[in-house]
Amino acid sequence: MKRSTGQDRSITSKWRPATCAVRGGTWRSEQGETSEALFVNSGYSFEDAHTPAARFAGEEPGNTYGRTQNPTVQMLEERIALMEGAEACRVQASGMAAMSAVMLCQLSAGDHMVIARALFGPTRWVTDNLLPRFGIEVTPVDGRDLDAWKAAIQPNTKLFFFETPSNPTMDIVDIAAVCGLAREHGIVSVADNAMASPALQRPLDLGADVVAHSATKLMDGQGRVLAGAIAGSAEFINNTLLPFQRNTGPILSPFNAWVILKGLETLNLRANAQADNALTVGKFLEGRVPRLLHPGLPSHPQFELAQRQMSNCGSVFAFEIDGGRKAAHTFLDALELIDISNHFGDTKTLLCHNASTTHSSLSEETRLAMGVTQNLVRISVGLEDPQDLIEDLDQALVKAGL
């Protein structure tokens, strides 16, 4: 019985990404189960009084309490670390728990942070409303503009944070250039990789220090559970993130970890098939709507950069239709197959009007600076036959008078 090869870096370091996705992190109990076991426990009991004393003192490895370790959660952490090419990973209760933890664990009053302005709505709430309350200054820049990143650096700049492709406007950040700049200045760079997933893009290989995730999206990919992840060097994960996470408690439940573990086994297949379908649907819409933002099509201003840093351009893209919010809502209401949903990365195709949902809490000014107009809709393409998706989009556009 190959009991814990998935936890042994001397073995897994030889495995290719597809193998890591299926077997990385696997640890078998003495029962010899093939599928990863679900350990539903919060506490641990000990053989003798010395054992917990040594573990609490950090002198011996081993479980102490469910807020710090759980075997199912640890299998997921090791699998994500291997898939991202990271030394270590810790998972959180949601993507937003991961985004806020990755900032709060390393920033203090008086620090400064530079962000790409096109970020997930709640991430902007954290940077715009929460961090300033604790004396942390944040400068948003156009993430596509390397000179803007450079100009925003101050002596107290500690962190660069971006997502690429950005949600929903599909801006591409040049990971190697921006993270190289950060490194030159001793600044930690964090990439939110939720839109691509490690199946399509590996920011650490391109020079990012830390990768943060909403595992709710492609990693689960079937609309079941929320989860987040942070991966990076063992030094960062164990000495900077872990003390914060252990004491504040945004941990992932074992059941949700188990669901994501099983999701990762098919991530490569799903992410690539959905990206292929998204390209087919994008090519149809390109001739049908006034403006399309798809990094996998040559009409995208950053097409070449996307080709360079992504192995496939993802399942999500955006497009504009004429007529503002009213026409957009009429179009959504006319869909027969595609669901109206703000979720993405799912096997089911989903469509969202971001200005009235995911980005509605932002000021009109912030929204427009990000390119989220009332004409914009975002599509997350799933695993259906792309021809059925095209026919549904076409008939809905006709019904909306477009």
CA dihedral defined by 94, 316, 266, 346, rounded to 10 degrees?
60
Give the per-residue contact string, 364-383, with ligand PLP (x = CB under 6 A; - = no).
--------------------
Q: Which of 170, 187, 226, 281 binds ligand PLP (CB under 6 A)?
A: 226
Instruction: Give 260 or 396: the residue with its C-beta nearer to ligand PLP.
Output: 260
Closest residue to ligand PLP, judged by C-beta, is 95
Do 215 and 228 form a contact (C-beta atoms < 8 A)? yes
The SS3 call for residue 364 is helix
Determine if 257 is a binding residue for ligand PLP (CB under 6 A). Answer: no
Residue with tokens 């641990």: 44
Do 352 and 377 form a contact (C-beta atoms < 8 A)? yes
CA gap 4, 113 in Å, rounded = 40
Determine if 216 is a binding residue for ligand PLP (CB under 6 A). Answer: yes
Q: How far is the CB of 41 from ligand PLP (least distance, A)?
A: 24
| 138: its two tokens | 């944040």
Determine if 210 is a binding residue for ligand PLP (CB under 6 A). Answer: no
Listed in sequence order, the DSSP H helices in 40-174 are: 50-56, 71-84, 95-104, 121-125, 131-133, 146-152
Instruction: Give 191 or 397: the residue with its C-beta nearer to ligand PLP.
Output: 191
| 146: its two tokens | 């390397």
Instruction: Give 95 or 382: the residue with its C-beta nearer to ligand PLP.
Output: 95
Instruction: Give 214 or 315: the residue with its C-beta nearer to ligand PLP.
Output: 214
Instruction: Give 159 or 402: the residue with its C-beta nearer to ligand PLP.
Output: 159
Determine if 120 is a binding residue for ligand PLP (CB under 6 A). Answer: yes
Other C-beta atoms lying within 10 Å of the C-beta of residue 72: 24
Q: How far is the CB of 154 from ligand PLP (least distance, A)?
A: 25
Q: Return the range that interacts with ligand PLP (CB under 6 A); candidates 57-65, 90-98, 181-189, 198-206.
A: 90-98
CA dihedral defined by 315, 86, 261, 27, rounded to 10 degrees?
160
Determine if 229 is a binding residue for ligand PLP (CB under 6 A). Answer: no
Determine if 220 is a binding residue for ligand PLP (CB under 6 A). Answer: no
Other C-beta atoms lying within 10 Å of the C-beta of residue 129: 10
Q: How far is the CB of 10 from ligand PLP (least distance, A)?
A: 33
Helix (H) or strand (E) holding 383: none
Total residues contacting ligand PLP by CB under 6 A comes to: 16
Q: Return the range that interacts with ligand PLP (CB under 6 A); candidates 11-19, 47-55, 76-84, 211-219.
A: 211-219
Determine if 95 is a binding residue for ligand PLP (CB under 6 A). Answer: yes
Distances (CA, A) of 287 to 60, 111, 299, 379: 63, 47, 11, 16
Instruction: Give 55 or 378: the residue with its C-beta nearer to ligand PLP.
Output: 378
CA gap 15, 326 in Å, rounded = 51
Q: How far is the CB of 221 from ligand PLP (least distance, A)?
A: 13
- The residue ranges that bind ligand PLP (CB under 6 A) are 94-96, 99, 120, 123, 163, 167, 192, 194-195, 214, 216-217, 226, 228
